[in-house]
Amino acid sequence: MKVLHIYRTCYPETKGGLEQAIRYICKGSSEQGISNTILTLGAENREYDFEGSRIIVVKKDWELSSNGFSFKLIKRFRELSRSHDIIHYQYPWPTGDLLSLFAHKRPSLVSYQSDIVKQKVLKRIYQPLEQFFLSRVDRIVASSPQYASTSKNLIKHSDRVDVIPLAVDESTYPKVDDDKLAAWKAEVGQGFFLFVGVLRYYKGLQYLLEAAKKNGLPVVIAGDGPERERLEGYITANKLTNIKMVGFISEEDKVALHTLSKAFIFPSHLRSEAFGISLVEAQMFGKPIISADINTGSSYVNINGETGITVPPADSQALADAMNSLNNAQDKAISYGINARQRYETEFTNERYAESYIELYKQLIAN
């Protein structure tokens, strides 16, 4: 079986959460005999093999609101759609919706990652293409039951929606030596509340800073992004010495910080945060989680009172209280961490993830 994956980027071209999700689908299914090709955009034309998959990069001509395009992409896509058995799209990516108009008739599915929340004007222009695309694919995959039941798009097409939660592959994470741990311990200490991710508007980090200002507990924020300057300005203006922003980090650094941390904190407060793969990473490391309950995949991963604490979104006082609760009850934090690791092993391993997609691929071929 040959599967063609379509998205604007992929791992290792870039290394975000969705890129990892595509990576793990391909890696896990390749190990089970599926032949995967990823068609994507980039700075130059090139092709190479990675973890058993063929990656084809087409040079991007232009980009509008993070939506890249290339005229050569249409020709390359049509050629590849002819030689593959299944076409696997990712939403949202309007260019992918457009490409579907040029596909040879093949079974198709789309992994629905998030509603479009911020670009409201462009969404109105794009909506006819979006709805035409969603009505034509054979199956739509939501990443959590919560998102499937609350997204207007998914409710509209509920008769074709499957739920396959995201996952991470523990075998791809590096081991950390004692020197690396000692270096990070000297820089940020240990027993802190950790956030890892891109610093975007929907991550709710302003509420985390306000919470840390209230309770004085140590926080480490790892990552870079458009909100960094504003966050650093708040820290400086309020002289918050308990918060350390360490910028973009390597995978080895991430493992070290998780090892040294007390808990993982995830204050995303808008539906743009459809799942939060970093939550699954935290559970893999056996860490209790504090997260905002926004009725998306993040609410599926972190179970209040079992794997951590959930709080109302955009509520800095609730965040501060939850941090105090974990800080003052070590037994509770340890228990949540044990439960978190068990939930990872049950729900979020790459074996489970890949097998779920392989089964769906087989159903599409059979039908």
Domain boundaries, the chain: 2-169+349-366, 170-347
Same fold, 2-169+349-366 and 170-347: yes
Instruction: pLDDT band for 119, please (50, 70, 90 cuts).
Output: low
Candidate from 2-6, 100-104, 116-120 with smallest mean pLDDT: 116-120
> What pLDDT was estimated at residue 259?
98
Residue whose pair of structure tokens reads 């040294």 in the numeric block: 260
Averaged over 287-292, what is the pLDDT? 98
Q: Check residue 267 and give its pLDDT.
A: 97
Sequence-ordered strand ranges (E) for 131-198? 139-142, 161-163, 193-196
pLDDT digits (tens, 9 = 90+) for 56-83: 999 999 888 778 899 999 999 999 999 9
Superfamily of domain 2-169+349-366: Glycogen Phosphorylase B; (3.40.50.2000)
pLDDT band for position 276 (50/70/90)?
confident
Specify the range with the lowest mean pLDDT, choosing from 121-130, 163-172, 176-185.
121-130
Q: 170-347 maps to which CATH number?
A: 3.40.50.2000
The Cα–Cα gap between 29 and 36 comes to 8
The secondary structure of 284-306 as a DSSP string is: HTT--EEEE--SSHHHHHS-BTT
| Per-residue pLDDT, 17 | 81
pLDDT digits (tens, 9 = 90+) for 83-98: 999 999 999 999 999 9
pLDDT digits (tens, 9 = 90+) for 126-157: 889 999 999 999 999 999 999 999 999 999 99
Are 14 and 198 in contact by the 8 Å Cβ rule? The answer is no
Confidence class for position 245, pLDDT limits 50, 70, 90: very high
